[in-house]
Amino acid sequence: MSDERFQVIVIGAGLAGSAAAYRLAKAGREVLVVDRGKTPGAKNMTGGRLYTHALEKLMPGEWTDAPLEREVTREMMMMMSGEDSFSIDSLFPSVSQSYTVLRSKFDEWLASKAEEAGAMMISGSTVDGLLIKDGKAAGIKTGDEELEADLVISAEGVNALVAERAGLIKPVNVKDIAVGVKYVYKLSEEAINERFNTVSGKGAAVLAVGECNKGIFGGAFLYTNKESVSLGLVVDSSSWKNSKLPLADFAEELKQLPALVRYIEGGKLIEYSAHLIPEGGYKALPEFCSNGFLLAGDAAGLCVNRGFTVRGMDYAILSGIAAAETANEAIEADDYSKGFLNRYREKLQQTVLKDFETLKNSHDYLAHTRHMFTTYPALATNLMKNLYDVDGSQAKSAMGIMKQTISGKLPYFDVIKDIVKGGRSL
């Protein structure tokens, strides 16, 4: 293998990049991964839960030694109004669909698997631009070096500056991204098990709306790790900008909410970070390829928020697999034209894009349903409070309490309309 020429160069050692490199190396290809972190995952501030169907497809039966945190068997949805809150708590002990992960650990592990398979990894290097020859991506520029390749895969994340500077994608639009803020608190395994009513190896995922996001499109989350808890907030960038609320203050208040503080009380803050998240959905997807070039993972906008689930990590892995399969076919055919590489979209259609088409209206529904993050959480919380209230006055029927709670707050027709629209969009 030449030190300066490769069959494929991958930008970024996140899930999409390392998945693509792993598959390419397994196929015997000469592949280089360039990552700006000192080690893969060192600069990755995301995390949360990973749906393991994608890992199984990437490396069947071989992913069980991955540094996964806890299997998610408890799902909680929480509504807040002032100091009041109520939760829908679901337990699925027989389900093995997802695990919580800390990306600094997990990304390093996945990159090491790619290296073991034969990929070359360069960490601590920033890709400054693409080499373009005869209208085709032909490698990368990093520092004073130029490294050539038949094909370049960009898995550089949501702010894909290399692809943007080369004119291959448009700049990120503020309406298509969200901002995530995350705290990680160290707690003992015993404390986590007690607070989340779970056992070692099993964990919980909590999604919350209402007071925590102050009416802005978004919500809060809690994830249990082995010996830490991830608490954070995700808000739509456009809604946040219009609110004029300082995000740092916003996030600081999150930690004081009665419904959430009980889960982190006494914990030691060991990490604080912020990150951009692509949430534009189907309508915001870019072109996935150009001559000699493919986009994967967050760089391709492959993340979907449908309110009760947020998926991006499994889509990143699946896109890495599809990119590797397309690259293999291009190498075999010695054809790196956009026309040939368009089969990458066809592969994504089979595994990822069907979901995006089904949920193509979810982002707009969540962003523009004006009662979703204000009135509805307050109504739901007040309804539950009124149902449990016993003050000695004459008892009312459940339907009567419901009518009393909603009366004057919201027209019934608006509620029905939002329910029907939500059912179709989500």
pLDDT for the residue 228: 96
- Which of 348, 318, 11 is CA-nearest to residue 151? 11
What would the pLDDT profile of 146-198 be if each residue is shown by its tens digit? Answer: 999 999 999 999 889 999 999 888 888 888 888 889 999 999 999 999 999 99
Determine the Cα–Cα distance for residues 414 and 166; give it in Å rounded to an integer: 46
Cβ atoms of 225 and 102 within 8 Å: the answer is yes
- Which of 280, 423, 298 is CA-nearest to residue 356? 280
Cβ atoms of 42 and 14 within 8 Å: the answer is no
Determine the Cα–Cα distance for residues 242 and 176; give it in Å rounded to an integer: 15
* Cα 168 → chain centroid: 23
pLDDT for the residue 424: 60
| Cβ neighbours for 105, distance < 8 A, ≥ 6 positions apart | 41, 67
Determine the Cα–Cα distance for residues 213 and 20; give it in Å rounded to an integer: 36
pLDDT for the residue 323: 98
Cβ atoms of 152 and 8 within 8 Å: the answer is yes
pTM of the model: 0.88
Residue 244 token pair: 């004029």
Please give the backbone phi and psi of residue 129, each rounded to the nearest 5 degrees, phi first: 175, 175
Q: Which residues of the chain have pLDDT under 70?
A: 1-3, 45-47, 95-96, 307, 363-374, 398, 402, 408-426
Cβ atoms of 81 and 258 within 8 Å: the answer is no
pLDDT for the residue 294: 97
What would the pLDDT profile of 328-371 be if each residue is shown by its tens digit? Answer: 999 999 999 999 999 999 999 998 999 888 888 776 666 656 56
| E strands, 54-104, in order | 71-81, 84-91, 98-102
- Which of 388, 384, 315, 393 is CA-nearest to residue 353? 315
Give strand pairing partners of 76.
89, 206
Cβ atoms of 3 and 146 within 8 Å: the answer is no
| Cβ neighbours for 274, distance < 8 A, ≥ 6 positions apart | 45, 179, 180, 181, 182, 247
pLDDT for the residue 311: 87
Determine the Cα–Cα distance for residues 151 and 330; give it in Å rounded to an integer: 9
pLDDT for the residue 1: 41
pLDDT for the residue 108: 95
pLDDT for the residue 377: 73
